[in-house]
Amino acid sequence: MSRKIVIEATNVSKQYNLSKIGSGTIKDDMKRWWYKARGKEDPFLRIGETNDRSRKGNSNWVWALREINFNIEQGDVVGVIGRNGAGKSTLLKLLSRTTTPTTGTIKMKGRVASLLEVGTGFHPDLTGRENIFLNGAILGMTKKEITSKFDEIVAFSGVERYIDTPVKRYSSGMYVRLAFAVAAHLESEILIVDEVLAVGDAEFQKKAIGKMQDVSSGQGRTVLFVSHNMGSIQTLCNKGLLLKNGMIAANGLLMPVINEYVKDGNSDEQLIFEPADNPFLSHIQLTSSTALITTGNAITFNLELKQFTKDLVVHLGIYDFKDEKLFNLATDYFEDVIKSTSVKCIVPVNNLPEGNYYVNLLLKRAGQTLCHYSKCLVFKVVNGDFYHQNKLPELTPSKFFVQHEWQS
Amino acid sequence: MKKTEWDIEIASETSWFSFKLNEIWRYRDLVALLVKRDYIAKYKQTILGPLWHIIQPLLTTAMSFLLFNVVANIDTEGKNAILFQLAGITIWSYFATCLTSTANTFIANAGIFGKVYFPRMVMPVSVVISSFLQMAIQFVVLIAAIIVNIFINTEYHLSWNILLLPIVVTIMALLALGLGIIVSSLTTKYRDLAVLVTFGVQLLMFASAVNYPISTIANRLGTDSMIYKLVAYNPLSILVDTFRNIMLGGPIQYGMLAYTAGITVVVLMFGIMLFNKVEKSFMDTV
């Protein structure tokens, strides 16, 4: 089935001026105007620099996005990922028409609704009811549409009791619930969402993610979703778009894109360790069945030895960052497991909840310690669907997930 | 892949002439809700509420009457001096409210504009409409004062000229809208104008024949004086004067009214062009 392309971006670039607006800008404006009047290229378009926040640049002009090209097909749920300052928000701003590209064009088909923030235009003095109408209208709904969905919106938000109270009396959670409820009921062919799910309590987050899934899978709508939470990206999206320094680093099916993102050096994470001058150990590597180490998925520790003897003992200690030992993976629990220089330890179901962990490695032979490496691997677990319920478990401060079932 | 017809095209360059009136019409519900919001938000937690619309012009009228008519003894072309001041203030405050509120459209709404797209013109248009409601209340006060005057002084000036009233008010609204969006477009980058507007409106009031008739200047300084020309050809003083003459009786200068309408069209067109140009990417400079 050939699907329609609903968003087409061609050579889209966006340049920003970093200098203080107001001093010297009249001069620059004049210069631009003078070049333009003579039919020449804008002088400032040439001197822009790549968008890399960690390096100090020489120019005051920077390319937040540079020559971006992509197509998005109808029904795709695209996760836009990238590090802070990679250009994600700029891209969403362009797509939601709050600003225009410096060069290039973006073409879109259908109504576009953007949720770069929840509760845009909420007025603190208006009641919940009044704000639903106002916010809905700002997001592009007609009064008729809002009226027909009003009850649904109120029910979804769960703040029925306070619907005629001015929103300034709301708790911030109630405020966000109401705001998201309005946005979730938008009827648009293209929905652009920026990390708004990072709000509300766990119950509401679940509801919001569920609603987003309905939106994309049930109604054939196209969704662009920006988030740093790989867990929710993996739950929601089928395609990925990775931005790096204002350019597209990867684009297409989700998994390869996330791989690329992870590979691209999360400096905190260390998934492979190669000790220098160790006569026994070549390297140890942590791999996962999914691109990211996710709760509920399998993880594997791969050890490559330089030599092996049957009496070699491997200890892996898994710690959290409170330096609390969570569990051991050790060969001396088992008989005769080391049969070659390639040793694998498979954890079929990763019980660890979202968080950061590290691994200590100990090699022993005949009661003698051969080597000990502290924090040789550092890894990050993202929240996953541990119970296979098509939803992310709530984040509670427990140390483990445990497989269990209920009967009645 | 099928060829698609594009609904939205986002590009850097836009033509100077895209008025998008149909788009504003599509967002008419939003205009209505914004007007409602302005109204509700303004009087939440006030005791007198919309009564302030009545108190404010009455106090200003009393002050102007004392200052211009009692102290300075300015002639009012035979009109009741209190009514003269009240009428002038009613129409002027409409202009002043429209201008000052539309002039900061971009800056005041930067938060919303940065997050959601809708035709930006919706904001100034809603301001002009909600200010109109405010003016309507004040207009009722003016009518009441005129009726009281009929009973007390048995003066009566109602004529067919009243049919011109909607035209004068509309021109006033469009002129304020035009000037307001010009200022708001220019202030996205350079804030200087916003400062000017706040006290400029006050200065402009003195050049707009609000507290005195145009004829006073002609009588005192002659029609050749610079000041007379400044006031007489100021579209605002023509509108104020015409409004007063409609309400309180007096000759209508159709030629000058047409001239004012012409200026308004030019200002408004220019304003819309500038606004359209700026609204595209003002978020980068605001």
pLDDT in 10s for each residue of chain A, 408 residues: 457 888 888 888 888 877 654 445 666 667 767 776 676 666 666 555 566 655 555 566 778 888 889 999 888 889 898 887 788 888 888 888 888 888 888 988 888 887 777 777 788 888 999 999 998 898 888 889 899 999 999 998 888 899 999 988 988 888 888 888 888 788 788 888 887 665 556 677 677 777 777 766 666 788 888 887 776 787 778 889 998 888 888 888 888 887 777 666 555 677 888 887 888 888 898 888 777 788 888 899 999 988 878 888 899 999 887 778 889 999 888 888 888 888 899 999 888 888 888 899 998 888 888 888 888 888 888 888 888 877 777 666 678 888 888 888
**A108 membership: H or E segment, kind and range:** strand A103-108
Q: What is the mean pLDDT of residues B171-195?
A: 87
> Which chain A residue has its CA at the smallest distance from B109's CA?
A121
Inspect the interface and report whether the beta carbons of A120 and B27 lie closer than 8 Å. Answer: no
CA distance A343 to chain B (A): 48
Amino acid at A346: I
Cα separation, A15 vs A321, whole angstroms = 41
Q: Which of A101-110, B60-69, B161-170 shows the lowest mean pLDDT across its residues?
A: A101-110
CB-nearest to A98 from B9, B114, B285 is: B114
B8 in a domain, yes or no? no
d(CA A284, CA A303): 4
Residues of A in contact with B118 (CB under 8 A): 138, 140
Cβ–Cβ gap B37/A96 under 8 Å:
no
What per-residue confidence (pLDDT) applies to A44? Answer: 63
Task: For residue A63, list its beta bridge partners.
Answer: A15
Question: Is residue B5 a part of any domain in this protein?
Answer: no
| A214: CB partners within 8 A, 6+ apart | none
Kindly determine whether residue B33 and residue A134, on different chains, have CB atoms separated by under 8 Å.
yes
Does B280 touch chain A if contact means CB atoms closer than 8 Å? yes
Distance of alpha carbon A350 from alpha carbon A402, whole angstroms: 10
Find the angle CA(B15)-CA(B17)-CA(B20) to the nearest 5 degrees: 105
> Confidence class of residue B14 from pLDDT cuts 50, 70 and 90?
low
User: Between residues 267 and 306 of chain A, which touch chain B (CB distance below 8 Å)?
Assistant: none
Element (H, E) at A90: helix A88-95
- Answer whether residue B180 is part of any domain: yes
Q: At what angle do helices B235-248 and B254-279 cross, to 10 degrees?
A: 130
Q: Which of residues 113-152 of A touch B (CB under 8 A)?
A: 114, 116-117, 120-121, 123, 125-126, 130, 133-134, 137-143
Q: What is the pLDDT of residue A40?
A: 65
Which chain A positions have a beta carbon within 8 Å of B2's beta carbon? 2, 4
pLDDT at A23: 47
Q: Are B103 and B180 in contact (CB under 8 A)?
A: yes
Both tokens of B271, joined, read 């304003």
Nearest CA to B251 among B193, B164, B179?
B164
**What pLDDT, on a 0 to 100 scale, did the predictor assign at position B166?**
93
d(CA B190, CA A383): 48
Q: Quick one: what percent of chain B has pLDDT higher than 90?
A: 38
d(CA B112, CA B106): 10
Of all residues in chain A, the one with the smallest CA distance to B11 is A105
Distance from C-alpha of A113 to C-alpha of A191, rounded to nearest angstrom: 5
Domain that residue B99 falls in:
21-284
Q: Is the dihedral of CA A319, A325, A327, A329 positive or negative?
A: positive
Sign of the CA dihedral running A349, A352, A355, A359: negative
Q: Which chain B residues contact residue A133 at CB under 8 A?
A: 33
**Closest CA in chain B for residue A147:** B29
In order of start, what are the domains of chain A with their CATH numbers? 91-263 (3.40.50.300), 272-381 (2.70.50.60)
Which residues of B fall within a CB distance of 8 Å from A3? 1
Q: Tens of pLDDT along B202-224?
A: 899 988 989 999 888 888 888 88
Kindly give, in sequence order, each residue whose CB lies less than 8 Å from that of residue B32, ignoring residues fewer than 6 positions away: A143
Provide the token pair at B206. Answer: 């003195």
For residues B187 and A206, give the distance between their C-alpha atoms in angstroms, rounded to a whole number.
44
Q: Please, are residues A72 and A224 in contact by the beta-carbon 8 Å criterion? A: yes
Q: Could you tell me if A60 lies within 8 Å of chain B, comparing CB atoms?
A: no
| CA angle A88–A90–A95, rounded 5-degree value | 95
Could B30 and A137 be called an inter-chain contact, meaning their C-beta atoms sit closer than 8 Å? Answer: yes
Give the lowest-confidence range in B89-93, B108-112, B245-249. Answer: B108-112
pLDDT for residue B2: 46
Nearest CB to B115; choose among A25, A117, A143: A117
- In angstroms, the separation between the Cα of residue B192 and the nearest Cα of chain A is 10
* Distance separating alpha carbons of residues A115 and A139, to the nearest angstrom: 8
Q: In this complex, do B2 and A2 lie within 8 Å of one another by their Cβ atoms?
A: yes
Tell if the CB–CB gap between A97 and B10 is shorter than 8 Å: yes
Closest partner residue to A123 among B9, B41, B190, by Cβ? Answer: B41
**Residue A123: its chain B contacts at CB < 8 A?**
37, 41
Over range B177-206, report the average pLDDT: 86
- For chain B, what is the domain count? 1
Mutate to test the interface with B, among A138, A139, A191 (most CBs of B within 10 A): A138
Separation of alpha carbons B240 and B116, rounded Å: 39
A109 part of contact set with chain B, CB < 8 Å: yes
A36 is written with which tokens? 């333009």
Give chain A positions within 8 Å (CB) of B115: 96, 98, 114, 116-117, 120
Other beta carbons less than 10 A from residue A306's beta carbon: 11
Assess B285–A contact: CB distance below 8 Å, yes or no: yes
Q: What is the distance in angstroms between the Cα of B90 and the nearest Cα belonging to chain A? A: 28
- Taking only residues 162 to 201 of chain B, the set having a beta carbon closer than 8 angstroms to any beta carbon of chain A reads 189-191
| Nearest in space to A234 (alpha carbons), one of A217, A252, A255, A250 | A255
Residue among A8, A107, A130 with most chain B CBs within 10 A, to mutate = A107
Mean pLDDT for all residues in chain B: 86
Task: Give the model's pLDDT for residue B244.
Answer: 92
Reported ipTM: 0.82
pLDDT at residue B112 is higher than 60: yes
Nearest-CB residue to B11 (from A100, A110, A137) = A100
In a domain, B9, yes or no: no
How sure is the predictor about B18, in pLDDT bands with cuts at 50, 70 and 90? low
Instruction: Give the minimum alpha-carbon distance from A22 to chain B in angstroms, rounded to a whole number.
Output: 6
